[in-house]
Amino acid sequence: MKKILSILLVLAVMAGTAFAGGAGEGAKKEVTIGFSLWTMKYTFFQAVEKGVRDACKELGYKYIMIDQNEDATKMVNDLNSLVGQKVTGIVITPVDPGAIGPAVQKARDAKIPVVCADIGKTGPVNALMISNNKKGGEMAMEYMDKLFKEKGIESKKVGVGRVQPQYTYASQRGDGFVAKAKELGYSVVSDLVTQPPTAEGGYDTMQQMLSANPDIAGVFFASGREAVGAANAIKAAGKSTLVVGYNGDPEEIQAMKDGIMAGDIAQQPYYIGYQSVMILKDIFAGKTYEDAVVPVDVALLTPDTVDDFQKKVDALMKK
Amino acid sequence: MSTFAELLRTERLTKSFPGVLAVDKVDFDVRMGEIHALVGENGAGKSTLIKILGGVYPPDNGRILMDGKEVAFASTHQSLENRISVIYQEFNLVPDLSVAENIFIGREPKTFGGMLVDFRKLNVQAAEILATLEMPLDVKSYVSDISVAERQMVEIAKALSHDSRLIVMDEPTATLTEKEVRKIFEIVKNLRARGVAIIYISHRLEEAFELADRITVMRDGRKVDTRDIESTSKSEVIEMMVGKVVKEYFAEAGAREAPKQPLLEVRGYSVADAVEDISFTLHRGEILAFAGVLGSGVHGLLQSLFGVVPRKAGEVRFEGAPVRIDRPADAIRLGIGYVTEDRKNAGLLPAMSVLQNLTVIVIRALTFLRVLFIRSVEEMKSFTAMRSRLDIKLAGPHQRIIFLSGGNQQKVLIGRTLLTDCKALILLEPTRGIDIGAKAEIHRILRELADRGMSIILTSSELPELVNLPDHCIVLYKGRKTAEFTRATMDSEKLVAAQIGHTEGARA
Amino acid sequence: MIRFLKLYEKFGIVIFIALGSIFLVAVTPNFLKLDTILNILAQAAHGAIVGFGMTMALTSGGFDLSVESIMALTSVFMALLIPVIGIPMAILVSVLIGSMVGVLNGLVIAKLKVNPLITTLSTATIIKGVALLVAGGRMIVIMQKQFMTIGTGKLLGVPVPIYLMALFFGLFYLVVYRSSFGRHVAAVGSNESAVRISGLDVDLVKIGVYVLVAFTAAVASVVRTSQALIGMPSMSPGFVLVVLTITILGGTSLAGGRGNLWGTLLAAIFVSMIYYGLNLINVQVFYQMLAVGLVLMLALFIEGLRVRYLQAAKAMGIKV
Amino acid sequence: MNGARGSARVWIASRWDSFGLPALIAVLVLVFSLLSSTFASGYNLFSNLAFSSLVGIGAIGMVFCIMSGDFDISVGSMSALAGVLGASLVGRIGGVGAVLVTVATATVCGIVNGVFVTKLRIPAFITTLGMQYVYRAIAYIYTSNTPVYIKDPFWLFLGSGTVLGIPLPIIITAICFAAAVYVLRKTPFGRSVIAVGTNKTAAMLSGINVDFIKNMVFVLVGFFVGVATVVTASYLGSVNPGMTGQGYEFQVITVVVLGGTALTGGNGNMLGAFFASLFLTYLQNGLGLKQVNSYWQFVATGLVLIFAVGINRVKSALLGQREL
């Protein structure tokens, strides 16, 4: 009996407030962009977020960001919640691109356009801005090949440290690297997943690679901070193995300045975020996007190019 | 050492818990170097009173004075500082520490500038204290490995190590054998000689009268009176305790024809660490008692008969047919009931109501299609029936069992098995730690059951129970049958002798 | 047999290490090399150090799931403080801050009597948030390269973390088995009410325990941070499960009362060896997971049989 | 009883189990709806309700488990394994079959855990700690780490469909909880679970087959995790061997404990778990909509947790259920 009462209590309150809320809804007319983000814990996503926010500011859009906290189910609930408050458009950087299908469908049914900012997509999204992970891996290998030739390094042994397996989109970086290595006649002697997926994990993994192949010539780590850890391990072991990372986050830039990292594949998170909103703007303006994929190029950073890259980034992030 | 100088006095001491007034304006005093017996039925407030003295419960009202000065008992620590040690019934030793560590817990001798424990010194000091108790016990052995009596000693040693002026003992002999009880008595008396005051709580009046200088009786949280032991008598004390005169403190041998048909036949029964090659027959309507001190294997035997511990050898026939009893469930199915000696740890279901505790065994019988849904009405019926049959005192069926008095809890446990209308009932220590009133009631109940044809096996560490209750009593010593008595041949001296191994001519 | 089983209780994990080593020696020449072995030990260090703390927590009948967050918090503060007050002071202060989380855990568990599991689960969330707030969500690069020595340097050819591991083992050995505090921790885990009655301040003991766990986590964080040279507000995700696996594999029971530091030490080395070894031969990460899980289950399986055998022996009246 | 104040405190305390969390939820909802016009839309409240069922359903089995004095932290991996297995079979055995397989798989995992715990007497926490590696690994290997998409209309309907305007997850949750409450309060099994949880020995002496009960409890955990997985999978439209159920175990345990079930066994509150799950959902959603910095959200959630569990402690203290 008590139980039933308590349930009724909750339902009653919900109904009441729902009614109250219902009254408020009709009011807002201005354009609102809802942004659902993987997490605010890592630099890359912070940059994406900044891009989206700036774009909205520029266009005078109202902006709501909800953090998925790396939880796929929460992500879906957040999306539904955004749909529920009738936002004008949705940008999403999904922690699990495979899991947005139904939610996106809901949004589209409610005439709300959805743009994915990187990672991937399922369901009827209007557009996906995605940086070219595979190409990034290939570029890393090509760059290494170039350096080997310059430095006259004979060893044909290279290694790759991948991101956690559940992030399939990012394992393409590794795939690209491995494919290109085979193509250029290198042998990938260790192909490991970095555990834990942080700098100190990169350190451990690199030590293991070095024990397995002391003469390993170069390694590619599919995530920047892991690459930094790996570079430290190489330094500590007094080796000269070349390290190339992926992302273009400040810690990598610093590592390259210190000369412990040979190169880095920079993504354009800010641009991805910013551009996603611009696509929405076009859609609002009547331009049709259906299931469009907008590849975003990645740039190779070398010790020479790193400085002005950093200037650019700082400029953007300070804006 | 001025004997009879007042050591501790409580004034209008009051403590209440939600729903109960546990201790009600108690004025109570203890003198130096006296043994002060504290008696009263369960729920009379004895335990609460001593827990206040032990600093476990802060009193709601009233004051406590030592040597005439008011002192605070906010924490166990403070009461120890006031050199009061309380030895609770449920032991407060740490199984995973050694005897020595337990005695000096919190006060270990240190080395390395107080950083490390000086185990050598620790063990020496502990050994010294145990020596004064003439207690041969390895101070390095883990408490988890020593006997109950030994633990009792360790508790006392612990109290001495605090060099306490007042030691409170709650039922120290409840689980001990006659021999061990003697030992404790010696120690207690020699403590008195040293000027230590002792508050001695016991349900065994004869102990109180043997030991105590004064006796205080409590009832319903109030103090009834304090008397000098010379100026009172057992019956008077009992009267004060129960408020009414309980006739026949123990059920009397009624004229009963010797039971005939066998129900349970046990042959060549052995249990590891307990008994060797035991044979006996339990007849319908018979009360069979097993007497035996700790280590006699009595408990092991009875537990094994109910399938709690595995048997090593031997055969069991129930109603003529050979049976295997590997799990309690088997025994219950056959119609054997079991009441544990360890109410707290093996009997009660603390999180559950009295009702649920009572019907736990038979619940499936009270259930539609045995699993689908419990027929609440039926359940309540059987509850009320059993409640009135055993006269269980409680607030209501949904009251939590833990809020009942020991006696009533015991009744619930017995009622639990009776609901199964079993043919045989095994009881271990049926009246341990419950008050005289309840004792008498439980004995009456057992009698009635036997008269109705129920066969009962029980064991008890209380001599009068063994002497008066059973039709037939078997004495075990170190796992073997050493003596056997019938109602006719029962003789308490011989019984005690047989229990402690002096069997000359005891066999009847 | 019985004696063997008693021995197994303490050092059973050695057998696993032996078998593991034999396997790895057989499959890869790179295993049986000095620097490989040193690296394995070095990579075992942080797990072992926190493992010692966790062993203590389990001995007290408690639990700590907040170690990851504590490491993150410490890491962040170190990165922020090193430029300001120099490396030694920064380490000191941030380890202190990390240990303070232990005080928080201890207070909630001891005073509010909230279950340790749920308490540390909550504080883990809180501290994660705090760490992110302090760092402003950034990875904070540490410029002072000499800080690397702690995690990556060598002394007489032996990595520094190994020394730390040894030091902490010795330290905790004394604390757990020889100090009165350690004995009281065991006592609390074994029979709390008894300890209360004995007039000991149980709450203080508990708080002490959680401070120690936090302390070990903070120290582990120093090692890890110096290896990464980055202050990370999100450090070593999933580490707490590794630590629990180590502690339990080491044979410390959740029941409390008795902890097995030797076991923890050896188990840490063993776990490190599995991951390191399997990576030497490029085993896919899924199979590594499977390996760890199966090994743990196997250990438990044997443990179960051991206990059963002892019980059976008791039942047959064999003195155990 | 000392004075009216005391009795008032006891009055509240004794009713906390049934009304405490609902009251908190009511307050929460009211506060947030005052702060944000969008929070309190019926749509939002209901979609949150549906979301909270993902953890809620999984919590049902865990309530039984924790009441019986045990524990299962393998539920996350269990969910992943069951999900990928079921989803991968849709093509061959159809939606209904696949759903059944999913539930069955999780249930089997439960049996495995149960056998380890009861037959080998290994503490459940440890067993499930080990199995959680194993289940997750098998899920990875079986799918060679590729997400499996749910296309089957029937299955999708279970997670995102509505009946009479009510989202199906809510209906499923309601049914599950109704059944669970019934089993717990009205059947001998429920009684046995409590008995085993509050005093194993006494239960055994009362003829209860403790091992069987414990086994069943783990089976229940598996079963309800299976159901939760089915709903979650169709809610997400896919199962991902690496993502599904990440951190699920702690979410579930959190709501169970927050719901007023004691980790010491015996005392439990089935509906409490549901309310707790709802409570946390509304909290996070509200904070999110209020644009509270996500770092602060961590802090807030943690504090609320401690606070809420702390209240349960205070309650039992007020009721004089003090253990010495």
Question: What's the confidence (pLDDT) of residue B2?
Answer: 41
| A121 & A203 share domain | no
For residue C44, pLDDT beyond 90: yes
D1, D202, D207: residue with CB nearest B348:
D202
Which residue of C130, C139, C234 to mutate against A (max A Cβ within 10 Å)? C139
What's the total number of domains in chain A?
Answer: 2
How far is it, in rounded angstroms, from Cα C202 to Cα A23? 56
Closest among A229, A236, C192 to B94, alpha carbons compared: C192
Q: Which residues touch A54 (CB under 8 Å, ≥6 apart)?
A: A270, A273, A274, A319
Confidence of residue B507 (pLDDT cuts 50, 70, 90): very low
Question: What's the confidence (pLDDT) of residue A74?
Answer: 93
Provide the token pair at D256. Answer: 């169970």
Q: What angle do CA C18, C21, C26 make, to 5 degrees?
A: 130
Helix (H) or strand (E) holding D26: helix D3-35
Question: What's the confidence (pLDDT) of residue B252?
Answer: 53
Does residue B340 come out as left (phi exceeding 0), alpha (psi in the -120 to 50 range) or beta? Answer: beta
Question: What's the confidence (pLDDT) of residue A14?
Answer: 61
Question: What confidence tens digit (pLDDT) does each residue in B267-296 have?
Answer: 999 998 789 999 999 999 999 999 887 668
Mean pLDDT, chain C, as a whole number? 91
- For D:126-185, CB contacts with A below 8 A are 140, 145-147, 149, 156, 159-160, 181
Pairing mode, strands A62-67 and A32-37: parallel
Q: Which residues touch D174 (CB under 8 Å, ≥6 apart)?
A: none
Residues of B contacting chain C (CB within 8 angstroms): 54-56, 75-77, 79-81, 86, 88, 91-97, 101, 105-106, 108, 110, 115-117, 119, 158, 272-273, 309-310, 312
Question: What's the confidence (pLDDT) of residue B296?
Answer: 82
Question: What's the confidence (pLDDT) of residue A9?
Answer: 64
| A84 & A115 share domain | yes
Count of H-run helices and E-run strands, chain B: 16, 24
Q: Do C139 and A251 touch (CB under 8 A)?
A: yes
Distances (CA, A) of B465 to B251, B476, B501: 9, 16, 20
| A68 & A189 share domain | no
CA distance A260 to chain D (A): 32
Are the beta carbons of B317 and B359 closer than 8 angstroms?
no
CA distance A83 to chain D (A): 9
Q: Do C122 and D136 touch (CB under 8 A)?
A: no
How far is it, in rounded angstroms, from Cα D110 to Cα D224? 10
How far is it, in rounded angstroms, from Cα B352 to Cα B331? 24
pTM over 0.90: no
- For C:52-111, CB contacts with B below 8 A are none
Asked if residue A23 belongs to a domain, the reply is no
A315 DSSP assignment: H
Looking at the DSSP assignment, which residues form a beta bridge with residue B485? B473
Q: Which residues touch C148 (CB under 8 Å, ≥6 apart)?
A: A232, A235, A236, C226, C227, C229
Task: Specify which of B72-86, B113-127, C5-19 reaches the highest per-range mean pLDDT.
Answer: B113-127
**Is the CB of residue D79 less than 8 Å away from at least one CB of chain A?**
no
For residue A26, pLDDT beyond 50: no
Asked if residue A79 belongs to a domain, the reply is yes
CA distance B206 to chain C (A): 30
Contacts of D319 in chain B (CB under 8 A): 18
C227, C233, C238: residue with CB nearest A229:
C227
Asked if residue A223 belongs to a domain, the reply is yes
| A185 & A250 share domain | yes
CA distance A241 to chain D (A): 30
Q: Which of B325-334, B456-465, D312-321 has the lowest mean pLDDT?
A: D312-321
Question: What confidence tens digit (pLDDT) does each residue in A172-185 have?
Answer: 999 999 999 999 99
| Among chain D residues, CA nearest to B342 | D202
Question: What confidence tens digit (pLDDT) does each residue in A81-136 have?
Answer: 999 888 999 999 999 999 999 899 999 999 999 999 999 999 899 999 999 999 99
Mean pLDDT, chain D, as a whole number? 88
Strand locations in A50-183 (E): 62-67, 89-93, 114-117, 127-131, 157-162
| A284 & A260 share domain | no
Contacts of B272 in chain C (CB under 8 A): 314-317
Question: What's the confidence (pLDDT) of residue B501?
Answer: 66
How far is it, in rounded angstroms, from Cα C252 to Cα B243? 55
Question: What's the confidence (pLDDT) of residue B266?
Answer: 94
| Among chain C residues, CA nearest to D120 | C304
How far is it, in rounded angstroms, from Cα D22 to Cα D273? 11
Looking at the DSSP assignment, which residues form a beta bridge with residue B280? B266
Whether the ω angle into residue B95 lies within 30 degrees of 0, i.e. cis, is no
Q: Do A236 and C137 touch (CB under 8 A)?
A: no
C6 DSSP assignment: H
Angle, helix A224-236 to helix C202-228, in steps of 10 degrees:
80
How far is it, in rounded angstroms, from Cα B212 to Cα A160? 85
Domain chopping of chain C, boundaries: 2-311
Confidence of residue A22 (pLDDT cuts 50, 70, 90): very low
Among A266, A286, A308, give the residue marking a domain's end: A266
Q: Which CATH architecture has domain B262-335+422-499?
A: 3-Layer(aba) Sandwich (3.40)
Q: Which of B91-95, B255-259, C93-97, D118-122 has the lowest mean pLDDT?
A: B255-259
Closest among C129, C123, C139 to C230, alpha carbons compared: C139
B252 DSSP assignment: -
| A67 & A40 share domain | yes
**Is the CB of residue C55 less than 8 Å away from at least one CB of chain D?**
no
Amino acid symbol at D112:
V
Distances (CA, A) of D121 to A20, B198, D125: 55, 45, 11
Confidence of residue A10 (pLDDT cuts 50, 70, 90): low
Domain of residue A188, CATH code: 3.40.50.2300
Are the beta carbons of D71 and D226 closer than 8 angstroms?
no
How far is it, in rounded angstroms, from Cα D322 to Cα B350? 12
D/B touch flag: 3 or more CB pairs below 8 Å: yes
How far is it, in rounded angstroms, from Cα C224 to Cα A197? 13
Strand locations in C96-213 (E): 140-141, 154-155, 158-159
Q: Do D199 and B345 touch (CB under 8 A)?
A: yes
| Among chain D residues, CA nearest to C305 | D120
Provide the token pair at A85. Answer: 């408050």
Provide the token pair at B257. Answer: 């024809």
Q: What do you get for the CA distance between the two ends of chain A, in Å?
A: 59
Question: What's the confidence (pLDDT) of residue B508?
Answer: 38
Q: Which residues touch D278 (CB under 8 Å, ≥6 apart)?
A: A10, D25, D48, D49, D52, D56
Q: What is the mean pLDDT of residues A206-234?
A: 94
Provide the token pair at D217. Answer: 């409890």
State residue B38 phi and psi, 5-degree precision: -120, 115
**Could you give all domains of chain D from N- to C-terminal order, each with its CATH number?**
41-312 (1.10.3470)
Pairing mode, strands C140-141 and D166-167: unpaired
SS3 labels along B183-231? HHHHHHHHHHHCCCEEEEECCCHHHHHHHCCEEEEEECCEEEEEEEHHH
Q: What is the mean pLDDT of residues C99-117?
A: 92
Q: Do A196 and C239 touch (CB under 8 A)?
A: yes
A65, A77, A98: residue with CB nearest D238:
A98
Are the beta carbons of B369 and B393 closer than 8 angstroms?
no
Question: What's the confidence (pLDDT) of residue D2?
Answer: 40
Confidence of residue A263 (pLDDT cuts 50, 70, 90): very high
Question: What confidence tens digit (pLDDT) does each residue in C252-295 have?
Answer: 888 888 888 999 999 999 999 999 999 999 898 899 999 999 99
**Is the CB of residue C173 less than 8 Å away from at least one CB of chain B?**
no
Which residue of D189, D194, D200, D205 to mutate against B (max B Cβ within 10 Å)? D205
Question: What's the confidence (pLDDT) of residue B257?
Answer: 61
Q: What is the mean pLDDT of residues B450-466?
A: 86
For residue D5, pLDDT beyond 60: no
How far is it, in rounded angstroms, from Cα B46 to Cα B194? 25
How far is it, in rounded angstroms, from Cα B425 to Cα D49? 54
Provide the token pair at C136. Answer: 């402003």
Query: Quick one: what percent of chain B has pLDDT higher than 90?
Result: 29
Asked if residue A312 belongs to a domain, the reply is no
Pairing mode, strands B321-323 and B424-428: unpaired
Confidence of residue B81 (pLDDT cuts 50, 70, 90): confident
Q: Which residue has the higher pLDDT, D319 or B402?
A: B402
For residue D307, pLDDT beyond 60: yes
For B6-242, CATH number out of 3.40.50.300, 3.40.50.11540, 3.30.160.20, 3.10.580.10 equals 3.40.50.300
Question: What's the confidence (pLDDT) of residue B42?
Answer: 62
Which residue of A198, A205, A239 to mutate against C (max C Cβ within 10 Å)? A198
Confidence of residue D46 (pLDDT cuts 50, 70, 90): confident
Are the beta carbons of B36 and B75 closer than 8 angstroms?
no
Closest among D175, D168, D182, D277 to D230, alpha carbons compared: D168
List b or e across C139-171, with b for residues whose CB sees 16 or more CB atoms inside 10 angstroms.
bbbbeeeebbebbbeeeeeebbbbbbbeebbee
Does residue B468 come out as left (phi exceeding 0), alpha (psi in the -120 to 50 range) or beta? Answer: alpha
- For A:244-273, CB contacts with D below 8 A are none
How far is it, in rounded angstroms, from Cα A32 to Cα B81? 70
Confidence of residue B506 (pLDDT cuts 50, 70, 90): very low
Interface predicted TM-score of the whole assembly (ipTM), two decimals: 0.85
Q: Which CATH architecture has domain C2-311?
A: Orthogonal Bundle (1.10)
* Domain interval for residue A43: 30-125+269-296
Q: Do D302 and C307 touch (CB under 8 A)?
A: no
Tracing tokens 């006719």 back to the chain, one arrives at B488
How far is it, in rounded angstroms, from Cα B204 to Cα B216? 14
Closest among C34, C12, C43, C15 to C279, alpha carbons compared: C43
**Is the CB of residue A8 less than 8 Å away from at least one CB of chain D?**
no
Closest among B68, B66, B96, B98 to B84, alpha carbons compared: B66
Contacts of D129 in chain C (CB under 8 A): 241, 244-245, 248, 296
Asked if residue A39 belongs to a domain, the reply is yes
Tracing tokens 């529920």 back to the chain, one arrives at A84
How far is it, in rounded angstroms, from Cα D289 to Cα D281? 12
Mean pLDDT, chain B, as a whole number? 84
**B500-503, long-range: CB < 8 A, 24+ apart:** B500/B177, B500/B178, B500/B179, B500/B293, B501/B477, B503/B477
Question: What confidence tens digit (pLDDT) does each residue in C186-208 have?
Answer: 999 998 888 888 888 899 999 99
**Is the CB of residue A114 less than 8 Å away from at least one CB of chain D?**
no
Provide the token pair at B244. Answer: 């009414």
Provide the token pair at B131. Answer: 């020596």
Provide the token pair at A73. Answer: 């189910």
Question: What confidence tens digit (pLDDT) does each residue in B128-179 have?
Answer: 988 887 777 888 888 887 877 788 888 888 888 888 899 999 888 766 777 7
Q: Do C179 and B105 touch (CB under 8 A)?
A: no
B76, B97, B310: residue with CB nearest C197:
B76
Q: Which residue has the higher pLDDT, A267 or C312?
A: A267
